[in-house]
Amino acid sequence: MTAAPSPRCDRIAELTTDQLRARLPEALQVYVTAMGYPPSTAQQRAPMWSAHMLRAGWRCIGAFSEQDELIGIGYGYLGAPGQWWHEQVRRGLMTSEVAIGDWMDDYFELTELHVHPAAQGGGLGESILRRLLTGAPGSKVLLSTPEGPTRAWKLYRRVGFTDVLRNYRFTGDPRPFAVLGRPLPLEPR
């Protein structure tokens, strides 16, 4: 028995809110599979992703296979006071040595970036990231990612993200996370 070939990326495109809404179940399946979450997580996340689409500065990039299947997704928006993630990170920074204003003003929150495991390892995540951040609003970008040696960590370090907050525990998740950031725009490859 031979393994199924990895899906090749045929195109990377910016998605409108209507386009993502139409493909939301598919996008959430990529997310759940990439993160190793139980399938029920998709139903829990759907309302949150839909609400994010309404935020200022929202933009989304999708990667598609030759069969027009979504194999990668990334989106984000302008972070602002009152948003859950913003308030969580602000709380964490209050106990750190980092000046809150250095990071929490005028930033693009990279909310989600996922590549289906069968399509990982070929630079697709970086392509989605670069396309998403090209022209993103804000003077800097922030993200959170679980601590640990992963492909995501290598990608973020490779494109110049630095530590903002380490080993932080978000409310409702026992895992330690890192908050990483960097100025915008990204340098060309």
Q: Which residues are catalytic?
A: 156
Q: Contact 115/151 with Cβ under 8 angstroms?
A: no
Q: Contact 28/141 with Cβ under 8 angstroms?
A: no
Task: Retrieve residue 64's tokens.
Answer: 């598609």
Of 181, 159, 161, 184, give the one whose Cα is nearest residue 101.
Answer: 181
Q: Contact 140/157 with Cβ under 8 angstroms?
A: no
Of 114, 118, 119, 125, give the one whose Cα is nearest residue 45.
Answer: 114
Q: Tell how far CA 153 is from the center of its chain.
A: 12
